[in-house]
């Protein structure tokens, strides 16, 4: 991705100040997206920054991208080519790269569901830190997050504010359908309904 791809716009994320964690993550996000696009790898921004692009509070934890399983290794090689470091991890549903102090997660099989053409095809190109890149839609972001809840990782508080911010953009019946096998997703959706964030009848 060269300078010809850089655009500004009302939807662009801006850093809160020089040297902030947010500013550093945005720099890493731009570098990773540029490297993957230059390598011809199809991807979409996911996780907290994608939710932020759609109205949620900004994430300051890491940067998440979704890509097909077959593209995970080529994507890591593209990031290594621009100076990032591969991080060895035991998990088999994502790979990680390190850019300075910042982590880039390349997610290829979230909750056992491989990223496919249909998911990436639903992504919308948006201006993220003045760079155009594909961003996953709100419904897919919520489905991915709810399916990630498990017995040992089901802190609902962190994601409540995201769902409040995105609720008008989310197809909640579709979320209910796609997460119907998860008791943790059901509990979270029930909580959202009881809090009045969404209407009942999501299943």
At residue 7 the predicted structure's pLDDT band, cuts being 50, 70 and 90, is very low
Q: How far apart are the first and last CA of the chain?
A: 42
At residue 8 the predicted structure's pLDDT band, cuts being 50, 70 and 90, is very low
- The Cα 139–Cα 171 span in angstroms is 6
Are residues 149 and 127 located together in one domain of the fold? no
Task: Tell me which residue range forms the domain holding 15.
Answer: 1-136
- 3-state DSSP call for residue 128? strand
Q: How many structural domains does the chain have?
A: 2
Angle, helix 157-166 to helix 183-194, in steps of 10 degrees: 60
Instruction: Using alpha carbons, list the distances in angstroms from residue 151 to 14, 148, 182, 185.
Output: 36, 10, 11, 11
Choose the final residue of a domain: 136, 164, 189: 136
Are residues 71 and 14 located together in one domain of the fold? yes
Reported pTM: 0.88
Choose the final residue of a domain: 93, 108, 136: 136
* Angle ∠(77,102,105) on CA atoms, nearest 5: 55
Are residues 188 and 158 located together in one domain of the fold? yes
Strands 102-107 and 63-67 come out as parallel
Are residues 59 and 78 located together in one domain of the fold? yes
Are residues 50 and 121 located together in one domain of the fold? yes
At residue 6 the predicted structure's pLDDT band, cuts being 50, 70 and 90, is very low
Choose the final residue of a domain: 87, 120, 136: 136
At residue 22 the predicted structure's pLDDT band, cuts being 50, 70 and 90, is confident
Q: What is the pLDDT of residues 155-199, one digit of tens each?
A: 999 899 999 999 999 999 999 999 999 999 999 999 999 999 998
Are residues 141 and 159 located together in one domain of the fold? yes
Are residues 56 and 92 located together in one domain of the fold? yes
């Amino acid at each position: 991705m060269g300078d010809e791809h850089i655009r500004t716009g009302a939807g662009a994320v801006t850093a809160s100040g020089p040297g902030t964690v947010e500013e550093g993550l945005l720099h890493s996000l731009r570098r990773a997206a540029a490297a993957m696009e230059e390598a011809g790898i199809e991807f979409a921004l996911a996780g907290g920054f994608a939710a932020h692009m759609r109205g949620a509070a900004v994430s300051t934890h890491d940067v998440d991208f979704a890509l097909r399983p077959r593209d995970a290794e080529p994507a890591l090689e593209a990031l290594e080519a621009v100076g990032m470091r591969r991080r060895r991890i035991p998990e088999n549903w994502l790979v990680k790269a390190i850019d300075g102090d910042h982590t880039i997660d390349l997610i290829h099989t979230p909750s056992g569901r491989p990223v496919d053409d249909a998911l990436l095809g639903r992504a919308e190109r948006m201006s993220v830190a003045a760079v155009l890149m594909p961003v996953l839609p709100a419904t897919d972001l919520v489905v991915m997050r709810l399916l990630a809840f498990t017995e040992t990782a089901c802190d609902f508080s962190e994601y409540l504010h995201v769902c409040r911010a995105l609720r008008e953009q989310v197809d909640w019946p579709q979320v209910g359908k796609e997460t119907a096998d998860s008791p943790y997703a059901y509990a979270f959706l029930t909580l959202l309904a009881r809090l009045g964030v969404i209407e009942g009848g999501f299943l």
